[in-house]
Amino acid sequence: YRELTGAAVRNLGSLEASSKESLAKLNPQAASLLSLQWIEDLEDVDKMKAVAKSSGEDPRIRTALTAKLTDALGSAYPPPLPPPAREPRNAEPQDGGDNPGTRSSAVF
């Protein structure tokens, strides 16, 4: 699916016949050629998520999928982002950092 041409994408037909793994592998350019009717006909939430992941930032597809996924999943969509990783406030530098007189163990 990653290498599909525009003509091949336009001839896919119903997305329900494709696996979620195949839909997730569409490149953004190919996904932008998907018919909005095919997206509207999707019932499988996992397939909707797969198309959402592969479609990039195409506004018409993002809008259609966001509406469908919000209807299907309610407040669970979009999924919450994980909190950013934080370093401890008093973390010691790994390589001696700015402490004069210390040597780095890095080998170049």
pLDDT for the residue numbered 37: 93
Sorted by sequence, the CB contacts under 8 Å of residue 94 that are 6+ apart come out as none
The number of beta carbons lying within 10 Å of the beta carbon of residue 69 is 20
Lowest mean pLDDT among 25-29, 41-45, 95-99: 95-99
- Tokens describing residue 42: 């999707």
Give the highest mean pLDDT range of 69-73, 80-84, 96-100.
69-73
Sorted by sequence, the CB contacts under 8 Å of residue 54 that are 6+ apart come out as 23, 24, 25, 26, 27, 28, 31
- Tokens describing residue 95: 């390589």
**For residue 95, pLDDT beyond 60:** no
**For residue 101, pLDDT beyond 90:** no
